[in-house]
Amino acid sequence: MQLHQSWQDLSPEARGTSCAMGNFDGVHLGHRSVLDLARGTGPLGVITFEPHPREFFAPKAPPFRLMNAEARANRLAKLGVDHLFELPFGPELSSLSPAEFARDVLAKGLGVSRVVVGSDFCFGRGRKGTVSDLQALGAEYGFQVTVAELIAQAGTPISSTAIRIALSEGRPRDAAAMLGHWHRIEGEVIHGEKRGRELGFPTANMSVAGLHLPKLGVYAVLVDVLTGPQKGSYHGAASLGVRPMFGENTPNLETFLFDFKGDLYGQHLSVALVDYLRPEVKFTGLPALIDQMDADCLQARSLLAAL
C-alpha cells in the first residue's frame, strides 16, 4: 500500500482510483462495506483525514479515537487498499466549501474515478455538504458517487460510538463483533520504570495518548511484534491503567508476552484486547501483587488457548 499525505502533485499511478472516503476510525464492519463497494477492476483507494477533524476543531476534548493513524493504515493495508490518501486536516482543507473540496481535492487533486461514502457522510466547510450534494458535484466534475447504507447488528447500527461504549464497559468481544477484528492498540515500545522486570514479569510499555481508553484493568491479549528480530505473534496479559500500586496517574499499556525473551524497546507492537480479566487493584504489598499476576497469566493462557 502506498501512503500519500497530500492531494497535490500525485504520481500518475495514484490518480484515477476508486476511493472509499471517511474517517475510518476503527475500520469496523460498516467501513468494510464502504470499502467493498469501492472495489473494482482498478486500484482501490481510501481518502481519510489526519488529524481527525474532531481533534482539529476541539483539541482539548477528551480523546475519542479507537486507533491511531499507524493502526488504521496497517488495518487498511490488510484489507487490500492500494493507495491511502491521508489528507492533512487543517485551516486550508477545513476552509474549503463543498464545491471547492469536490473540484480541487477530489477531481483536480486526486483525480478520482469514483467515490464511495456512508449515507451519513458530511463534508466541506461547516459540514454543509451532504451525500446528495456530493452526487451532484460528482456529476459536474466527472466522478461517480456511490452511497453505502449503514450496517446494523441485532437491529443496532454499527458505529464507532457503539464500539467505544463496548470497550468502556469491558466488553472487548462485543467490540470485536462490530469491528470484524480484535480491537488493537498499536505503537512503539517505550522505556518505563522497569518494575515488571523486577517482579519477574518484564513488560512492553506503550503510550495510549490520544486514544479512547477501554475499561482500565487487566486483559488477555494477542500480541503481534511488527518490527525487529523477534517479529511474530504471541499470547500475553496486559495491564491498561495508571498503576495504583505505585502512585502513577498517566494511563499506559504494559504487556507481558508469554514464553518470550528479548529486547523490544523501539519496536512496534500491535496488542489485541481479547478478554477483560479484572479491574485495577491497589494491593497490600508486592507478594499479593505477584500472586495475582500469576493468577492473571494462568487465566489468560487458558482463555487464549481456546481461541
Q: Say how far apart CA 181 and CA 200 lie, in whole Å.
A: 31
At residue 197, the pLDDT reads 58
Rounded to two decimals, the pTM is: 0.89
Query: Helix or strand or coil: residue 105?
Result: helix
Judge whether 28 and 79 are in contact, CB under 8 Å.
Answer: no
User: Among the options 92, 198, 254, 280, which is catalytic?
Assistant: 254
Q: Are 229 and 223 in contact (CB under 8 A)?
A: no
Q: What angle do CA 152, 155, 158 make, to 5 degrees?
A: 30
What does the CA dihedral 151, 154, 159, 165 come to, rounded to 10 degrees? -170
Give the pLDDT confidence score for residue 249 in this predicted structure.
66
- pLDDT score at 216: 96
Contact call for residues 269 and 228 (beta carbons, < 8 A): no
State phi, psi for 268 to the nearest 5 degrees.
-105, 130
Nearest-Å Rg of the Cα atoms of the chain is 21
Rounded to whole angstroms, the Cα distance separating 57 from 204 reads 33
Left (φ > 0), alpha (ψ -120 to 50) or beta: where does 61 sit?
A: beta
3-state SS assignment for residue 179: helix
Burial of 224 per CB tally in 10 Å (0-12, 13-18, 19+): middle
Q: Block means of pLDDT (10 residues each) for the chain, length 307 residues?
A: 95 95 96 94 94 93 93 95 97 97 97 95 95 98 95 86 96 97 95 63 91 96 96 97 63 95 93 96 82 95 97
Q: What is d(CA 159, CA 136) in angstroms, rounded to the nearest whole number?
A: 27
Q: Other CB atoms closer than 10 Å to residue 151's CB: what's the count?
A: 18
Half-sphere exposure of 280 toward its Cβ, with a 13 Å CA cutoff? 21
Q: How many residues does the chain have?
A: 307
Cβ(78)–Cβ(24) below 8 Å: no
Rounded to whole angstroms, the Cα distance separating 223 from 264 reads: 12
Domains with residue ranges and CATH for the chain: 2-153 (3.40.50.620), 183-305 (2.40.30.30)
280 is an active site residue:
no
* Residue 236, beta-bridge partner list: 221, 257
